[in-house]
Amino acid sequence: MEIFKRVTDLHELSVIYPEFIAILSELTNYYPTKTIQDELKIYSEKYFLSTYSKGEHHALGLYLNSELIGYVLMYIESGICFIQWVGVIKALRGMGYGKQLYLRLEDYLLKQGNVHKIFLDTICTNVEAIKTVDSVGFKKICKLEKHWDMQDYYLWEKVIS
């Protein structure tokens, strides 16, 4: 049985954190090693736990049979959801769980009642992510050339209300 929920409990966040770090660490196909190392410095466990346990930042987990299989890290500002990271554990990639994360996120945001749009970016070389966000109705707005760490990205949006 799949469950999708916001995680604010420090213990549950401490379970998500190593999965986040593991997924981030293995993205060397898409990001230069220096970029990953810089992100790992920013997302210390202390920062992660304090940021996502309260306020406008949300850590949302997708669970299958009580095991964390994916997450969305995002924040809400002025009615707009900004997705920071989405991840599915490596063993379950390509099985539709990424798509489920986006669809369940949209349901979650609609229930919040104060969000009308979602923004995210994808690195231009991550074909799987591009296919997934396109398949759930995001519209590509533009290409951001030489953006984060001089990599090219696409900016996407989806109006949800």
Residue 62 to residue 107: CA distance in whole angstroms: 13
Nearest C-alpha neighbor of 51 from the set 75, 24, 34, 77: 75
- Tens of pLDDT, residues 23-43: 888 777 778 888 888 888 888
Query: Residue 85: CB partners within 8 Å, gap ≥ 6?
Result: 20, 24, 71, 72, 73
Structurally, the chain folds into a number of domains equal to 1
Provide the residue range defining the domain that includes 144: 2-159
Q: What is the pLDDT of residue 20?
A: 85
- Which segments in the chain show pLDDT lower than 50? none
Q: What is the H or E stretch that residue 64 is in?
A: strand 57-64
Q: What is the pLDDT of residue 113?
A: 87
**pTM of the prediction?**
0.90
Which CATH number goes with the domain that contains 9? 3.40.630.30
Q: What is the pLDDT of residue 2?
A: 77
3-state secondary structure of 81: strand
